[in-house]
Amino acid sequence: MSWLIAAYACVAIAVLLYLARLVKLRRELSRQLAHRPRIQSISDGRA
Amino acid sequence: MTRDRIISRFIDVALLATLAIGMWMVFFYAPIESEMGIVQKIFYVHVPLAWNAFLGFGVVFVSSFRYLATRDPRWDARALAAAEVGVLFTTLVLITGPIWAKPVWGIWWTWDARLTLTLVLWLIYAGYLLLRRYVESPERRAVLAAVVGISGFVDVPLVYFAIRWWRTQHPQPVIGGGSDSGLDPRMAATLWVCAAAFLLLFVALFRRRVAIEQMRRDVDVLRDSAEGSAA
């Protein structure tokens, strides 16, 4: 039984870790996109 | 709510429902195999993971061809997303396999054709992901990755047919393996439900990863335009 639980636990943990990585990436990119007006205003000011 | 979000929500709900039904079938419906005992139930994740990893590398193959033909970065994003999920699933195949092998064969690993070719498959697509990380130019990266993605796919049919072409420690096929193969109907039903669950998991992860790549492209375009204006 412990082998079975180990196998299923590995699958669950790995998928959750990958999902967490995707969420983190998405948050980081959303944050960067949210700064868009500021980046554009800086570049407009320089131009 | 956009159409994309509705589809994603539908896939997520279908995934959770199929996964719940699949796990119930694994533990309460499928019979315990007479020789291996309860550890044989690893089969219901091991095999669907392998099938869907093959699907992932198939998507890499098609998307890479489409990228080379059209130079549309969306195909490159699809290839990347499919490769990542494919590598994740192959990693899990290579973890669940030895966990199953140890109590049944008495060893974690043997260098038979199926196992070795699966490891080679993992190395090819892990290399594909590494390559993408270390090539700076986006166009050059996408072209090189597409070439590796296409050529690496050669290993997929080799892995699939390994147990049909050579004598291996790995068991012979139980589905599509000829007159000697076959599964108890309850085992087969459980396998198909689990395969559907992992297919939905593949689609859910793939769609999320593609969306992230689209966001990354938006950020890159924004950054380039900001730097261009600043210059």
Tens of pLDDT, residues B102-133: 999 899 998 988 999 999 999 999 999 999 99
pLDDT band per the 50, 70, 90 thresholds, residue B231: low
Contact criterion met (CB below 8 Å) for B42 and B96: yes
**Partner-chain contact B100 A8, CB within 8 Å:** no
B6 exposure class (CB count in 10 Å sphere: 0-12, 13-18, 19+)? exposed
Which residue of chain B is at minimal alpha-carbon distance from A21? B209
- Residues in A whose CB is inside 8 Å of some CB of B read 1, 3-4, 6-8, 10-11, 14-15, 18-19, 22, 25-26, 29-30, 32-33, 36, 39-40, 42-44, 46-47
pLDDT band per the 50, 70, 90 thresholds, residue A47: very low
pTM metric for this prediction? 0.90
Counting residues of chain B whose pLDDT is more than 90, the rounded percentage is 74
Asked whether the CA dihedral B32, B33, B38, B41 is positive or negative, the reply is: negative
The ipTM estimated for the assembled molecules is 0.88
Please state the domain extents for chain B: 17-171+187-230
- The secondary element (H helix, E strand) that includes residue B35 is none
Task: Please provide the CATH number assigned to the domain covering B17-171+187-230.
Answer: 1.20.120
Q: What is the Cα–Cα distance from A30 to B220, expressed in whole angstroms? A: 13
The token pair at B29 is 């419906």
DSSP single-letter state for residue B37: B
The token pair at A35 is 């700064």
The token pair at B43 is 């089969």
**Partner-chain contact A3 B99, CB within 8 Å:** yes
Q: 């944050």: which residue's tokens? A: A31
CA-based nearest residue to B84, from B187, B213, B181: B213
Give the closest of A7, A8, A46 to B230, CB-based. A46
CA-based nearest residue to B43, from A8, A14, A24, A41: A8
